[in-house]
Amino acid sequence: MTTDSADRGDRGGPARIGTTDVRRLESATRVLREQDYRDGGGSCRTAVRSQVAHGRRLLRAQAREAVRDRLLVALADLHNLAGWVAFDTGHPRAARTHYRSALTLLDGHAQQDLVANVHYRIGRIHLHHRDHTGALREFGHALAAAERVGSSRTAAIVFANQAWAHALRGSRVEALTLLVRAEDRLASAAGSAAPSWAGFFDPTDLQAMIGVVHAELAVRGDRTSLRVAVPALTAAVEGYGASMRRSAAFCLTALALGHVLDGDPVAGAGTGGRALEAARELTSTRVADRMRPLLEHCARRRHAALADLAERLRPFVTRRHGRPGVGRPPARDR
């Protein structure tokens, strides 16, 4: 018989929990993850932190071994989401704290696919700050965990992100080789159920990664990469629905930069304007960060449309911490 949290303890949490309690935590994580994808981390950060506190209280309760085992995974995934939300709102230190908590909960646990996902997300923090060495180190840990459990989808995620890291170094051959591996592994995962933490990576997201990698190579002087970057990013923008608005904004930003680098300022300015409008609907400092290269390239070029776009981008990029939903956190979470 499943025991729920109606049996309260004397420390503000339940004395004993059952499967129903864990399912509620898992359901809350799914809903909040969807909100993060759709609206940005600032839209749900307070709710995520509240759920983390609730999950930590559940951890103190008595439970059958199977229930506790499932709770460890559920709470680790919630910390995983909390880390991503903190990262998305400009708080990498808080993000790393959540990721360490997730890995501690999973220490020695069989759920290595989630371990891999946590390391991948830590790697993304390094990647965001252009630290390709740190990113590749974490992606290596992620790949090792994914291979231990034969998770093709997670391996595809890692290969695609390793390609991005190599593109930041200007290593074209390595980047393109890793993209092929990502395509192969995602194809082999077709038809298989994906855990919630990895379900975002589908053919549309792979197209986005292909486009971003080639755009990075173009920024570093390989303009031939634009022949792949522009159509891949265009396809990704068209493929993302309303549930993935932040990803679409990232792709529009990269696509605008691709048009600028390709010598098409009118298309660049038009797409950049679309990216800015999309970004204004999101509570994500990361979106503003990713617009900085577009701003810099627009500002360098003597074209009226690009100059106008630069003027519109500048206050958005430079005043990102003042945006609704992504302001400074309470002192204890800095």
Structural domains in the chain plus CATH codes: 13-103 (no CATH), 202-326 (1.25.40)
Q: State the maximum Cα–Cα separation within the chain, in Å, rounded to a whole number.
A: 72
Tell me, what's the pLDDT at 320? 57
Tell me, what's the pLDDT at 238? 97
Q: From residue 224, how far is each of 81, 172, 217, 258 by CA, in Å?
A: 37, 11, 9, 11
Any idea how long the chain is? 334
Distance in angstroms (rounded) separating the CA atoms of residues 254 and 249: 9
Which of 113, 117, 111, 81 minimizes the C-alpha distance to 98?
81
Q: Which segments in the chain show pLDDT lower than 50?
A: 1-10, 321-334
Tell me, what's the pLDDT at 324? 37
- The residue type found at 159 is F
Element (H, E) at 233: helix 226-239
Tell me, what's the pLDDT at 270? 98
Distance in angstroms (rounded) separating the CA atoms of residues 133 and 127: 9
Cβ 298 vs Cβ 306: under 8 Å: yes
* Cross-strand bridge partners of residue 62: 16
Distance in angstroms (rounded) separating the CA atoms of residues 298 and 43: 30
The reported pTM is 0.91
